[in-house]
């Protein structure tokens, strides 16, 4: 499965309006609820519950907030780019500009783990991170991701 099968341009927010961690999670949860259904508040709650265990800021300016919730029927992914770095309590202590939010029901646990791993693997590439950060539109973001996703 390709990440871009789940993450279409209408699920990308460029730029994020949020200026803090909670706001970024809320903005992305609202986009996911708009596109996939479910309650944005329940999505935020699931992500914050996971975030309380350990920050999902994985380093290199990337965060992958995620959680499991019956608020959604299927695994959903949204992404966003912040114009300014957002303090996030990331594992490397650096702020975050690139966000991928992932929420699914308990029944999608296996797919959830596979998609998390796919995102992390793709974003190890410096050139992809740079292209995603430079994207001015959701379509540019998606095109850069699609180019890397097939390799």
**Annotation says 66 is catalytic:** yes
Maximal C-alpha separation, the chain: 36
Q: Which of 60, 66, 112, 142 is catalytic?
A: 66
Question: Which stretches of 1-120 are assigned E, i.e. beta strand?
Answer: 12-16, 57-59, 62-63, 66-68, 76-86, 96-104
Residue 10 neighbours by CB distance under 10 Å: 13
Between CA 85 and CA 97 the distance in angstroms is 5
Among 130, 135, 99, 112, smallest CA distance to 24 is for 99
Residues marked active site are found at 66
């Amino acid at each position: 499965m390709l990440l871009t099968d789940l993450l279409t341009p209408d699920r990308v927010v460029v730029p994020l309006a949020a200026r803090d961690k909670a706001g970024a999670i809320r903005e992305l949860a609202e986009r996911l609820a708009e596109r996939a259904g479910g309650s944005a508040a329940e999505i935020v709650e699931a992500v914050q519950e996971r975030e309380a265990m350990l920050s999902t800021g994985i380093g290199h300016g990337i965060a992958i907030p995620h959680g499991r919730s019956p608020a959604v029927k299927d695994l959903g992914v949204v992404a966003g780019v912040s114009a300014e770095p957002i303090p996030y309590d990331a594992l490397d202590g650096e702020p975050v500009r690139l966000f991928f939010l992932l929420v699914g029901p308990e029944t999608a646990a296996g797919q959830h783990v596979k998609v998390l791993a796919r995102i992390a693997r793709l974003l190890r590439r410096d050139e992809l991170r740079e292209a995603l950060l430079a994207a001015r539109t959701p379509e540019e973001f998606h095109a850069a991701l699609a180019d890397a996703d097939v390799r």
